[in-house]
Structure 1
Amino acid sequence: MFFRISVILLLAFFPAGNAQSNSAGNEWELVWSDEFDGNSLNTAKWNFEEDCYGGGNNERQCYTKSKKNVSVSDGFLKITALKRKTKGFAFPKSWREGAEGSLRGKKRFEKVKRPFSSGRITTKNKGDWLYGRFEARMKLPLGQGAWPAFWMLPTSNSYGTWPLSGEIDIMEAINLGQSCDVCEGGREDRIHGTLHFGNPWPKNNQATAEVHLASNVPGFHHYAMEWYPDYMKWFVDGQLYSTIKKDQWFTKGASAENERAPFDQPFHIILNLAVGGKWPEENNDVGYFSMDYPKSVEVDFVRVYKCPVAQDGGSCSFSSN
């Protein structure tokens, strides 16, 4: 979700295939999940993020913990973007407070207004993982400027600030349903899976791939990423569409002696719905359509699995039973 600028675009795209690995007998083990069965967000598993930072992308929303923006009912999480002028901190909490705090003086208390409110939740320090399978069943909003994401950031910036310590985008989409010259039917239907890494911003690097949703763009779809020590795989609805190997990523961060760096440290999950920003506003029908709100992301579940043999070079699959 951070800056989409890059120096090198490394595209690792492979034909569609079965989501299950071919290593018989090595099964994924469920280690964490949220099925959203309650009446409110489970704060033992999730944190609310509250700021108007805009992700470094000039996004148009403030994130809040209001139930109007983040709610749970009938077995679903709903993150809703509203056209509602909102005021909040100009910078993320991690910049304003604690050991990671980089702001000094009045900057820590600076506030700004945005024309939209929305939600962003994370598992930071409540669910942090090194390697595994991460999946969610989600229904994404249509419309120019809508930018839903299911992604991960490092829990500790061991190699330095973004993107030196990495970013994993499991699923991003922008402007679904809008005009698209390269999409079947002429309407935006692409899902993006990306790694961010490499040189310090603004000369940062990324490896990315995209896939077209086969049908029912506004319906529920299953998004997954498998993270092994030497490679990562991306899936939509059980179909493999991208593999990125460790020789395609790197970091110029300090103390990066491991060839797998920066993706050799624990990461946490993030779910959010952004409005506008550089990437969506410069594509498709351009800008953002403010009259089309509210818009929501619906999430049926989020699940995390571990592969017991991953550290030994093995891979995992699901039982056929």
Structure 2
Amino acid sequence: MIDFVKCFKKEVFAVLAIAVVGLSGCSKGSGGEEGPVYVPPVVTTPVDKGWTFEATPTWSDEFTNTGAPLSSNWDYDTGGGGWGNNELEYYTNTTNNASVANGLLTITAKKENMGGMAYTSSRMVTRGKLDALYGRFEIKAKLPSGKGTWPAIWMLPTDRAYGDWPKSGEIDIMEHVGYDQDNVHFSTHSEAYYFKINTQKTITKKIDGASTAFHLYRVDWTPYAIRGYYDDVKVFDFANEGTGYKVWPFDKRFHLLLNIAVGGDWGGAQGVDASIWPQKMDVDYVRYYKMIEK
């Protein structure tokens, strides 16, 4: 719910601030009297400094252990309730839905009842383990398939400095819905640009064999731009417009998420095939490379 009192106070403050700025730059009119001079707001256009990234990962998981994912690298979001998208899964923090073996992380969505939901899955997060401002993220993964699957490799703000979603931003490195096989999506969301008002910055790329072979999903994030790459081919480029957080909240720490949702507003838009479960997303590695400051 909007706090109208706070909004009113902010509007009054903004008007007073403009008045003060105007009065601080007075000039004499034709009658010799001093009058306010309008001073337009300053918009600083960001400059691309050609940032690069360190050659060795600052943080990585090659999944060389066996059993549960390393607690030093991963935490979990758990529970059901739809997650704001009318999803059907209950997220757990057990090896029933996320496990490591033979050099791979496997996230498994299953048709089983838990917590009032009809499916279980895992939503792994690096929050508190890897919270980064800028850098390169690489994730090599093989996706699930089938109507009702909705895997994602994505990023959320750790501190929500600008407010709740979408004000503090979201970066979707990879999203896929099973009823639209092999069409993979890269998107960003902010208060000005997000899907519920159909202004999100997004692309769709056909990746043959997204669910039968491993592919590399990557984001290069700098103060100037968020750029997406699939199998090292650039598919997405969103530049910082320099107009503030409503467009560009991407100047704060974000963390990484890996999950398979079941159904939901997008994943279940054409129904859920009850015969396909369990479904898996296999991850070969996750690597983060620090941006080199300039």
| TM-score, scaled relative to structure 1 | 0.71
9, 33, 58: which one pairs with 1:31? 58
The equivalent residue for 2:190 is 197
Gap change, CA 1:25 and 1:216, over 3 Å in 2:
closer
- Write the letter of the residue equivalent to 1:280: G
Corresponding position: 1:168 with 2:168 = no
Secondary structure of the structure 2 residue equivalent to 1:279: helix
Cα-to-partner distance string for 1:168-195 (whole Å, 9 max, x where unaligned): 10111111xx4x5xxxxxxx21110010
* In structure 2, C-alpha distance between the alignment counterparts of 1:215 and 1:118, rounded to whole Å: 23
Corresponding position: 1:241 with 2:228 = no
User: Larger radius of gyration, structure 1 or 2?
Assistant: 2
The equivalent residue for 1:269 is 256
Secondary structure of the structure 1 residue equivalent to 2:292: coil
The equivalent residue for 1:148 is 151
Q: Which runs of 5+ in 1 are unaligned?
A: 1-22, 88-112, 181-187, 253-259, 313-321
Higher relative contact order (CA 8 A, sep 6+): 1
Judge which range, 27-36 or 152-161, deviates more. Answer: 27-36
- Please report the RMSD computed on the Cα atoms of aligned residues, expressed in angstroms: 2.4
Gap change, CA 1:26 and 1:80, over 3 Å in 2:
closer
Gap change, CA 1:74 and 1:290, over 3 Å in 2:
same
User: In the alignment, is the contact (CA less than 8 A) between 1:49 and 1:63 conserved in 2?
Assistant: yes
Corresponding position: 1:294 with 2:278 = yes
Gap change, CA 1:116 and 1:289, over 3 Å in 2:
same
User: In the alignment, is the contact (CA less than 8 A) between 1:146 and 1:274 conserved in 2?
Assistant: yes
Q: Which runs of 5+ in 2 are unaligned?
A: 1-49
How far has the Cα of 1:232 moved from its partner? 1.1
56, 77, 82: which one pairs with 1:49? 77
* In structure 2, C-alpha distance between the alignment counterparts of 1:24 and 1:165, rounded to whole Å: 23
- Write the letter of the residue equivalent to 2:58: V
Cα-to-partner distance string for 1:170-222 (whole Å, 9 max, x where unaligned): 111111xx4x5xxxxxxx21110010101599658421111100456421111
Cα-to-partner distance string for 1:66-85 (whole Å, 9 max, x where unaligned): 21111111111110001000
Matches within 5 A, 1:1-321: 27-39=54-66, 40-87=68-115, 113-175=116-178, 178=179, 188-199=181-192, 203=197, 205-215=199-209, 217-247=211-241, 251-252=245-246, 261-282=248-269, 286-309=270-293, 312=294
Gap change, CA 1:213 and 1:204, over 3 Å in 2:
closer
Cα-to-partner distance string for 1:280-319 (whole Å, 9 max, x where unaligned): 222xxx111112100010001000001213xx3xxxxxxx
| TM-score, scaled relative to structure 2 | 0.77
User: In the alignment, is the contact (CA less than 8 A) between 1:58 and 1:278 conserved in 2?
Assistant: yes
* In structure 1, C-alpha distance between the alignment counterparts of 2:276 and 2:53, rounded to whole Å: 47
* In structure 1, C-alpha distance between the alignment counterparts of 2:242 and 2:208, rounded to whole Å: 28
- Write the letter of the residue equivalent to 2:78: E
How far has the Cα of 1:54 moved from its partner? 2.1
How far has the Cα of 1:248 moved from its partner? 9.0
User: In the alignment, is the contact (CA less than 8 A) between 1:155 and 1:268 conserved in 2?
Assistant: yes
Percent of pairs with identical residues = 38
Secondary structure of the structure 1 residue equivalent to 2:275: helix
* In structure 1, C-alpha distance between the alignment counterparts of 2:183 and 2:192, rounded to whole Å: 27
* In structure 1, C-alpha distance between the alignment counterparts of 2:227 and 2:77, rounded to whole Å: 28
Gap change, CA 1:167 and 1:25, over 3 Å in 2:
closer
What is the total number of aligned residue pairs between the two structures? 244
Secondary structure of the structure 1 residue equivalent to 2:111: strand
* In structure 1, C-alpha distance between the alignment counterparts of 2:213 and 2:193, rounded to whole Å: 38
Gap change, CA 1:223 and 1:299, over 3 Å in 2:
same
Gap change, CA 1:34 and 1:226, over 3 Å in 2:
same
How far has the Cα of 1:55 moved from its partner? 2.0
The equivalent residue for 1:91 is none
How far has the Cα of 1:27 moved from its partner? 4.8
* In structure 2, C-alpha distance between the alignment counterparts of 1:125 and 1:262, rounded to whole Å: 20
Gap change, CA 1:196 and 1:294, over 3 Å in 2:
same
